[in-house]
Amino acid sequence: MANLKVINFIKGFLRNPFAVGSVVPSSKFLATAILKNIDFSKLKVVVEYGPGTGVFTKHLLDSSSKSKTQVRVIEFSGDFVEFLTKRFPTNQFNIVIKQDRAANVKNIMASPEERVDVVISSLPFTFFPWDETEATIRATFDVLETGGIFRTYLYVHTLPLPKIQRLLALLKDVFGNVDSWICVANIPPAIVIECQKKT
Protein backbone atom coordinates (compact mmCIF):
# COMPACT_ATOMS: atom_id res chain seq x y z
CA MET A 1 0.00 0.00 0.00
CA ALA A 2 2.85 2.40 0.87
CA ASN A 3 4.34 2.04 -2.62
CA LEU A 4 0.91 2.32 -4.25
CA LYS A 5 0.33 5.62 -2.47
CA VAL A 6 3.67 7.02 -3.59
CA ILE A 7 3.21 5.77 -7.19
CA ASN A 8 -0.28 7.30 -7.40
CA PHE A 9 1.03 10.54 -5.93
CA ILE A 10 3.86 10.75 -8.47
CA LYS A 11 1.37 9.99 -11.28
CA GLY A 12 -0.83 12.82 -9.99
CA PHE A 13 2.17 15.15 -9.93
CA LEU A 14 3.15 14.26 -13.49
CA ARG A 15 -0.40 14.88 -14.73
CA ASN A 16 -0.77 18.25 -13.02
CA PRO A 17 2.49 19.42 -11.41
CA PHE A 18 1.35 22.93 -10.46
CA ALA A 19 -1.87 21.78 -8.78
CA VAL A 20 -0.11 19.01 -6.83
CA GLY A 21 2.92 21.16 -6.00
CA SER A 22 5.16 18.37 -4.67
CA VAL A 23 6.72 15.25 -6.22
CA VAL A 24 6.30 13.05 -3.14
CA PRO A 25 3.63 12.90 -0.42
CA SER A 26 4.24 14.56 2.95
CA SER A 27 6.07 12.54 5.61
CA LYS A 28 4.33 11.03 8.64
CA PHE A 29 6.39 13.51 10.70
CA LEU A 30 4.73 16.42 8.92
CA ALA A 31 1.35 14.72 9.48
CA THR A 32 2.16 14.59 13.20
CA ALA A 33 3.40 18.19 13.20
CA ILE A 34 0.34 19.60 11.44
CA LEU A 35 -2.04 17.78 13.82
CA LYS A 36 -0.08 18.35 17.04
CA ASN A 37 -2.03 19.25 20.21
CA ILE A 38 -5.42 19.04 18.54
CA ASP A 39 -7.97 17.69 21.03
CA PHE A 40 -10.02 15.44 18.76
CA SER A 41 -12.49 14.57 21.53
CA LYS A 42 -14.02 18.03 21.10
CA LEU A 43 -14.29 18.11 17.30
CA LYS A 44 -17.48 17.61 15.34
CA VAL A 45 -16.37 18.61 11.83
CA VAL A 46 -12.82 18.67 10.45
CA VAL A 47 -12.16 19.71 6.86
CA GLU A 48 -9.02 18.88 4.91
CA TYR A 49 -8.02 20.69 1.72
CA GLY A 50 -5.90 18.87 -0.88
CA PRO A 51 -5.62 15.40 0.72
CA GLY A 52 -3.82 13.87 -2.29
CA THR A 53 -3.40 10.17 -1.46
CA GLY A 54 -4.47 10.73 2.15
CA VAL A 55 -1.38 10.94 4.37
CA PHE A 56 -3.03 13.49 6.71
CA THR A 57 -6.51 12.01 6.19
CA LYS A 58 -5.31 8.70 7.65
CA HIS A 59 -3.99 10.48 10.76
CA LEU A 60 -7.20 12.50 11.05
CA LEU A 61 -9.35 9.37 10.87
CA ASP A 62 -7.08 7.41 13.24
CA SER A 63 -7.10 10.25 15.79
CA SER A 64 -10.83 10.89 15.82
CA SER A 65 -13.82 8.95 17.02
CA LYS A 66 -16.02 7.74 14.17
CA SER A 67 -19.16 8.51 16.17
CA LYS A 68 -18.13 12.04 17.21
CA THR A 69 -16.07 13.55 14.39
CA GLN A 70 -16.76 13.76 10.69
CA VAL A 71 -13.79 14.27 8.38
CA ARG A 72 -14.61 16.07 5.13
CA VAL A 73 -12.01 16.33 2.42
CA ILE A 74 -11.99 18.59 -0.64
CA GLU A 75 -9.72 17.45 -3.44
CA PHE A 76 -9.40 19.06 -6.86
CA SER A 77 -8.00 16.04 -8.74
CA GLY A 78 -10.47 13.35 -9.90
CA ASP A 79 -7.70 10.72 -9.81
CA PHE A 80 -6.95 11.41 -6.14
CA VAL A 81 -10.68 11.44 -5.32
CA GLU A 82 -10.99 7.98 -6.88
CA PHE A 83 -7.96 6.75 -4.91
CA LEU A 84 -9.29 8.20 -1.63
CA THR A 85 -12.75 6.72 -2.19
CA LYS A 86 -11.20 3.25 -2.43
CA ARG A 87 -8.79 3.83 0.45
CA PHE A 88 -11.40 5.22 2.87
CA PRO A 89 -14.77 3.61 2.06
CA THR A 90 -17.69 5.41 3.70
CA ASN A 91 -18.99 2.18 5.23
CA GLN A 92 -15.80 2.02 7.31
CA PHE A 93 -14.96 5.67 7.93
CA ASN A 94 -16.93 8.78 8.91
CA ILE A 95 -15.73 10.68 5.87
CA VAL A 96 -17.13 12.82 3.07
CA ILE A 97 -14.93 13.07 -0.04
CA LYS A 98 -15.78 15.90 -2.41
CA GLN A 99 -14.18 16.81 -5.72
CA ASP A 100 -14.06 20.59 -5.70
CA ARG A 101 -11.83 23.59 -5.10
CA ALA A 102 -11.15 24.51 -1.50
CA ALA A 103 -12.45 28.03 -2.14
CA ASN A 104 -15.89 26.39 -2.46
CA VAL A 105 -15.69 24.97 1.06
CA LYS A 106 -19.21 26.31 1.80
CA ASN A 107 -20.53 23.64 -0.59
CA ILE A 108 -19.47 20.92 1.83
CA MET A 109 -21.46 22.34 4.75
CA ALA A 110 -24.61 20.48 5.80
CA SER A 111 -26.40 23.84 6.26
CA PRO A 112 -25.51 27.56 5.95
CA GLU A 113 -25.32 27.75 9.77
CA GLU A 114 -22.98 24.79 10.25
CA ARG A 115 -19.39 25.62 11.28
CA VAL A 116 -16.07 23.75 11.13
CA ASP A 117 -13.78 23.16 14.14
CA VAL A 118 -10.50 22.62 12.29
CA VAL A 119 -9.32 23.09 8.69
CA ILE A 120 -6.09 21.38 7.62
CA SER A 121 -4.65 22.46 4.29
CA SER A 122 -1.98 21.09 1.96
CA LEU A 123 -2.80 23.52 -0.81
CA PRO A 124 0.18 24.55 -2.97
CA PHE A 125 -0.39 28.30 -2.53
CA THR A 126 2.93 29.00 -4.29
CA PHE A 127 1.26 28.02 -7.56
CA PHE A 128 -2.18 29.53 -6.90
CA PRO A 129 -3.42 32.64 -8.69
CA TRP A 130 -3.73 35.33 -6.00
CA ASP A 131 -7.53 35.59 -6.40
CA GLU A 132 -7.92 31.92 -5.53
CA THR A 133 -5.62 32.19 -2.51
CA GLU A 134 -7.59 35.12 -1.19
CA ALA A 135 -10.97 33.49 -1.87
CA THR A 136 -9.82 30.30 -0.12
CA ILE A 137 -8.56 32.08 3.01
CA ARG A 138 -11.66 34.27 3.33
CA ALA A 139 -14.03 31.31 2.77
CA THR A 140 -12.10 29.34 5.39
CA PHE A 141 -12.46 32.12 7.96
CA ASP A 142 -16.20 32.28 7.23
CA VAL A 143 -16.85 28.56 7.77
CA LEU A 144 -14.76 28.26 10.96
CA GLU A 145 -16.35 28.19 14.40
CA THR A 146 -15.22 30.92 16.80
CA GLY A 147 -12.09 29.40 18.37
CA GLY A 148 -11.65 27.21 15.27
CA ILE A 149 -8.24 26.58 13.82
CA PHE A 150 -6.78 26.78 10.32
CA ARG A 151 -3.46 25.05 9.69
CA THR A 152 -1.45 24.83 6.52
CA TYR A 153 2.17 24.10 5.72
CA LEU A 154 4.65 25.91 3.54
CA TYR A 155 7.98 24.64 2.27
CA VAL A 156 10.76 26.54 4.00
CA HIS A 157 12.49 27.46 0.74
CA THR A 158 9.30 29.22 -0.49
CA LEU A 159 9.10 31.60 2.49
CA PRO A 160 11.00 34.49 0.80
CA LEU A 161 8.71 34.42 -2.26
CA PRO A 162 6.57 37.57 -2.57
CA LYS A 163 3.43 35.42 -3.04
CA ILE A 164 4.07 33.57 0.22
CA GLN A 165 4.88 36.79 2.10
CA ARG A 166 1.60 38.19 0.74
CA LEU A 167 -0.24 35.05 1.94
CA LEU A 168 1.22 35.45 5.46
CA ALA A 169 0.17 39.12 5.50
CA LEU A 170 -3.34 38.13 4.39
CA LEU A 171 -3.61 35.51 7.16
CA LYS A 172 -2.52 38.10 9.73
CA ASP A 173 -5.04 40.56 8.33
CA VAL A 174 -7.98 38.11 8.22
CA PHE A 175 -7.34 36.15 11.44
CA GLY A 176 -5.33 38.72 13.40
CA ASN A 177 -2.79 36.07 14.46
CA VAL A 178 -0.29 33.67 12.88
CA ASP A 179 1.70 31.04 14.78
CA SER A 180 4.24 28.63 13.26
CA TRP A 181 6.55 25.69 13.94
CA ILE A 182 9.06 23.86 11.80
CA CYS A 183 9.15 20.24 10.63
CA VAL A 184 12.57 19.37 9.19
CA ALA A 185 11.72 15.67 8.74
CA ASN A 186 9.98 16.20 5.42
CA ILE A 187 11.11 16.48 1.81
CA PRO A 188 11.47 19.40 1.53
CA PRO A 189 11.49 20.76 5.13
CA ALA A 190 8.25 22.55 5.96
CA ILE A 191 6.85 25.09 8.37
CA VAL A 192 3.37 24.64 9.82
CA ILE A 193 1.30 27.82 9.96
CA GLU A 194 -1.61 28.12 12.39
CA CYS A 195 -4.32 30.78 12.62
CA GLN A 196 -7.17 30.83 15.09
CA LYS A 197 -10.53 32.49 14.51
CA LYS A 198 -10.82 34.46 17.73
CA THR A 199 -13.99 36.47 16.97
Helix (H) or strand (E) holding 46: strand 45-49
Binding of ligand SAM at residue 77 (CB under 6 A)? yes
Q: How many residues are given for the chain?
A: 199
Q: Tell me the closest approach of the beta carbon of residue 147 to ligand SAM, in angstroms.
A: 24
User: From the list 63, 94, 96, 124, which residue makes contact with ligand SAM (rule: CB under 6 A)?
Assistant: 124
Binding of ligand SAM at residue 190 (CB under 6 A)? no
Reading phi first (left if > 0) and then psi (alpha if -120 to 50, else beta), residue 50 is in left
Helix (H, G, I), strand (E, B) or coil at 184: coil
Distances (CA, A) of 143 to 46, 72, 93, 136: 11, 13, 23, 11
Q: Tell me the closest approach of the beta carbon of residue 93 to ligand SAM, in angstroms.
A: 16
Binding mask 132-151 for ligand SAM (x = CB under 6 A): --------------------
Site for ligand SAM in 2-31 (CB under 6 A): 19-22, 25-26
Binding of ligand SAM at residue 193 (CB under 6 A)? no
Rank residues 126 and 180 by Cβ distance to ligand SAM and give the closer one: 126
Give how far the C-alpha of residue 106 lies from the chain's centroid of Cα atoms, to the nearest Å. 15
User: From the list 101, 117, 175, 190, which residue makes contact with ligand SAM (rule: CB under 6 A)?
Assistant: 101
Q: Tell me the closest approach of the beta carbon of residue 198 to ligand SAM, in angstroms.
A: 26
Q: Is it true that the peptide bond before 188 is cis, omega within 30 degrees of 0?
A: yes
Binding of ligand SAM at residue 88 (CB under 6 A)? no
- Residue 90: count of CB within 10 angstroms of its CB: 10
- Residue 98: count of CB within 10 angstroms of its CB: 14
Rank residues 147 and 188 by Cβ distance to ligand SAM and give the closer one: 188
Q: Which stretch binds ligand SAM (CB under 6 A): 58-66, 70-78, 90-98, 166-174?
A: 70-78
Per DSSP, the residues of 81-131 read HHHHHHHS-TTTS-EEEEES-GGGGGGG-SSTT--EEEEEE---GGGS-HH
Residues forming contacts to ligand SAM in the complex (CB under 6 A) are 19-22, 25-26, 49-52, 55-56, 74-77, 80, 101-102, 122-124
